[in-house]
Structure 1
């Protein structure tokens, strides 16, 4: 049997002259969707989960000898999917000796150069082969866009596998949200939250439900009350988030975000005239005439509106600090996470990571004030950029690609956690700090990112980074695709979870955890993989899913108890316990 070293060396011969690129989006899953670029008419697998699987195959068998920018132990893999057809690659990988002995000119030239036979890999068939080649093709196309000619890109930036936590989360299926479509995604449920003893659930197709026992009823049909509302083309559009004012039971105030067509109204945060808008995100205040009623009745007013360069990475989490008391300066102030709108890789990185523009930031506003430029909200005195020339006073922190979720530890640390969905390499959880810069689009996790290089790769930093605030947790894309932010557990039902921050991966539905005490913001703490049992059976959310993309989300009630839910099938689960697997 060949040694591992020889195995990789021979494989490097067979995969010679291939380039890689991996755009893993957080948009709707398109597993199996072919891509058809380059002069060779080949149909390569696309979609985040199939490409992700291809990366895993590559990292198992190819990565120790190959990169996509230089010939090292094995040849540079750049360009092969544009130079030879797919059938040749499949045949060579599976039986290179037969092709060399049969006189294939390209195979013979590789043998002449390396003077050795590569062993065949007939076991790489079906999805393994399709996804491997899809991954290679994606990375190859991205390398063509490396106009900065940066080298040293990392396909597997965090090679250490995530260890097991020795902990299995016990879930109980609670209820299924009403379907708003006839096929997956059956219910685009995106956020579960509450006020007092009440719980509410949002479907991105425009309905805010209230949960009653094991059933739900429509509390606010936002789509019906907002004529310009749109929930297409997906990519997070529709009813984005909601937040009840901490004094809702007295003042009846509720806040929501939603999407409308570009140009629906004048934007408070408009793109420069030379940049077309794809759609608009709108923050709305609703005031219930009777906060205790089962169905909303009352008035609404628009708070702010922003243009986006594309349909992705728009308004994300909308929330109040649950720890703030009426005497605290943070009480009643509204936080809103705003993604970069795809601007960084859409040709407009100048819109990101600066205090002049709202995109790629977390803003903090006083919805009861009127000191803003549009007169519809206030800018809190404690905001870090207030009063700085040329800066937006609304910005609380910046340097995010997609600040998807924001939560607070209700226990000892009282830390704020901000999950930031990465491009194609690193997912991260950050500790929220006023005025902090988390680095996008020149950082992804603890690595360098270059919008002018291969956008599917990150690069090592030349020296320790003192310019930006690093992540508290991170994992890379052979472990997941897009981080689903979670909560520090401080409930009473599951004592085994005390002190754990629980989170996961949106597309795959994988569960992760970390010790809050280790999340000090100095270096990334250890991420652990958490097992799962549902109704007493060891399983995974992916195994129970109706669709390859799980679409996992986390929630917490006023008592600190945790819930998980999955968008593809509308299932909502209670966290009922935890034990060793």
Structure 2
């Protein structure tokens, strides 16, 4: 909403105070998101259109390409593997903008499904073994219909598990390519793990990861992490709760050795240093690394520090960024963020739960899109920041890694790192993902108002932004000049003057319309203030407007806005 000034306004304390006074009376569970830096975003390529291949959920059936992961091939910088939930695995050369179908998983399994209903169906993910170029091994998770399926599940929910003949099976497959460099897959595959999901297509296994910093000989080298959710048992009341039950596979982060064989089914190994592997209790699952997740949607490592980070999609109030620790309990469904389920304040003596390092609430988004810590060279201001966003509304955020670590170590369970909004420019002009997607599709509004945002990272630390709605892969490439309203390459006091002199105007192409919504208003002041000093200016000149002048202008602008809305 336009009057949520707390999202954009920065500057003096007085200005921020006015902003919160003017904001609507809307409950805010987590601290407000603050305005951050601006970066340039560049189009890389559009993936092949895969619409119309099955009975999909109506929320995603209009997606040009349901791109879920972008993985760089280990040891081969500049070459990617990208999967589409509709079954395709592509080898991608971004330099030539070529995407070649490497494998169609849907063609290999007769019970492969991409619907109906739900979002956790299809080819969920693809990940390559660290030694892919020598051993040809890569891994996928896909969904199959349970009805009539001859496969025997290795795992099912505990307690009231439902009818195992209904719902879905989540299947983890190891593939071995005869020639890892070939454009098209030929080789073999075998099943590592099969999970019965009678509650349906909710919050199932969603990500596979290998620690990119682990080296041969390290205990973590070649160990596979599998991130999952509660399958709807805890969140939707589909049956007995699972997420904090150590005999259940649901709501857990798993760690296995895909090349081992000491698991119950003999198809993979159990690392001896997993938290329950040596407890002598046959009732605990040795595969568990951490627990208490509603939907641990994405996991990843900081390429510099090795910090292990996961993002957990919330239920009613809070979206979480978690630092993942061996044996950690992340609280679901007892907690949601730093609050009890339902948003109530937790008692001060709450113990045994690991709380999020950063969080935002549902006033600002509804489903967190996990990202990566920026370690590239193109955007110095973003180095050391964990970049993430919201799947549905397409907003981009970041939090400082050092602050996240400090928040985890703080004795106050309410302490979390600040969340900043990441603004975008393209060709130097302010834009949003919404604008970019609509422009690419040539339509006025998004189907179901969903961007379906995802992220990718390459070994050089650079970040990629993926939007399924238009099937695009874009890259964050450098500083934008948001707030440069007079176009002189600097964001300074002269740009404030342009904003002040045109405040209240509406129309297309207004120089001081920093957020591109067709109005010059207080939000555009916030865009300028958040970018002040960028574009090569090394110091704030004496011509910066006095706080009293800025406050007066802001109040005048806010009054104009309120009068204009009252007259509508």
Match of residue 398 from structure 1: 291
SS of residue in 1 equivalent to 2:434: helix
Please, which of 558, 563, 576 is the counterpart of residue 464 of structure 2? 563
User: Aligned in 2, Cα 1:487/1:416: closer, same or farther, shift over 3 Å?
Assistant: same
- The alignment covers a number of residue pairs equal to 422
The CA distance in 2 between the partners of 1:563 and 1:271, in whole Å, is 36
C-alpha separation in 2, matches of 1:507 and 1:237 = 18
For residues 427-460 of structure 1, the C-alpha deviation after alignment (integer angstroms, 9 at most, x for no partner) is: 00000100000000000000001xxxxxxx3211
Relative to 1, partners in 2 of residues 1:504 and 1:375: Cα closer, same or farther, differing over 3 Å?
Answer: same
Deviation at 1:403, TM superposition (A): 0.5
**Which of residues 395, 401, 417 in structure 2 aligns to 1:510?**
395
Q: Any residues of structure 2 matched to 1:334-413 within 5 Å, and which? A: 334-344=224-234, 345-388=236-279, 389=281, 390-411=283-304, 413=305
Distance 2:339 2:49 in 1: 41
Among 95, 114, 125, the residue aligned to 1:231 = 114
Provide the residue aligned with 2:374 in structure 1.
Answer: 489
1:225/1:460 CA distance change after superposition, 3 Å? same
Structure 1, unpaired ranges of 5+:
1-58, 64-154, 450-456
Name the CA shift for 1:162/1:281 in 2 (closer, same or farther; >3 Å). same
TM-score by length of 1: 0.70
Structure 2 vs 1, CA of residues 533 and 295 (structure 1 numbering), >3 Å: closer, same or farther?
same
Query: For residues 350 and 274 of structure 1, do their structure 2 counterparts lie closer, same or farther at Cα, with a shift above 3 Å needed?
Result: closer
Shift of 1:274: 5.3
Please tell me whether residue 190 in structure 1 is matched to residue 68 in structure 2: yes
Residue 354 of structure 2 is aligned to residue 438 of structure 1: no
* Pair 1:310-2:200 in alignment: yes
Q: CA deviation at 1:545?
A: 3.0
SS in 1 for 2:402: helix
Provide the C-alpha distance between the structure 2 equivalents of 1:222 and 1:467, rounded to a whole number of angstroms.
41
> For residue 177 of structure 1, what is the aligned residue in structure 2?
47
Q: Say whether 1:222 aligns with 2:138.
A: no
Task: State the alpha-carbon separation in 2 of the partners of residues 464 and 553 from structure 1.
Answer: 37
Q: What secondary structure sits across from 2:206 in the alignment? A: strand
Q: CA deviation at 1:550?
A: 0.6
Cα–Cα, structure 1 residues 432 and 407, in superposed 2: closer, same or farther, change >3 Å?
Answer: same
* Other-structure match for 1:37: none
Alignment partner of 1:250: what SS? helix
Q: Distance in 1 between matches of 2:46 and 2:360?
A: 31
Q: CA deviation at 1:278?
A: 1.6
Could you tell me how far 1:566 is from its partner in structure 2? 0.1
1:78-227 equivalences in 2 (<5 Å):
155-158=27-30, 160-165=31-36, 167-181=37-51, 184-195=62-73, 196=75, 197=77, 198-212=79-93, 213-227=96-110
**What SS does the aligned partner of 2:233 have?**
coil
Structure 1 residue matching 2:321: 3-state secondary structure = strand
Gaps of 5+ in 2: 1-21, 53-60, 410-414, 439-445, 483-568
| Alpha-carbon shift at residue 349 of structure 1 (Å) | 4.3
1-side partners of 2:403 and 2:424: how far apart? Answer: 23
Q: Equivalent residue for 2:353? A: 468
Alpha-carbon distance between aligned partners in 2 of 1:341 and 1:317, rounded to the nearest angstrom: 14
Contact 2:428 2:481 in 1 (8 A): no
CA displacement, residues 12-70 of structure 1 (integer Å, 9 cap, x when unaligned):
xxxxxxxxxxxxxxxxxxxxxxxxxxxxxxxxxxxxxxxxxxxxxxx96555xxxxxxx
The farther-off stretch of 519-528 and 563-572 is 519-528
Q: Secondary structure of 2:381's partner?
A: helix
**1: distance between equivalents of 2:333 and 2:71?**
31
Residue 213 (structure 2) pairs with residue 323 (structure 1): yes
Partner of 1:266: 152
Partner-residue secondary structure (3-state), 2:156? coil
Distance 2:349 2:404 in 1: 19
CA contact (8 A) 1:173 1:534 kept: no
Residues 78-131 of structure 1 show CA distances to partners (whole Å, capped at 9, x for unaligned) of xxxxxxxxxxxxxxxxxxxxxxxxxxxxxxxxxxxxxxxxxxxxxxxxxxxxxx
Matched, 1:285 2:174: yes
**Displacement after TM superposition at 1:364 (Å):** 0.4
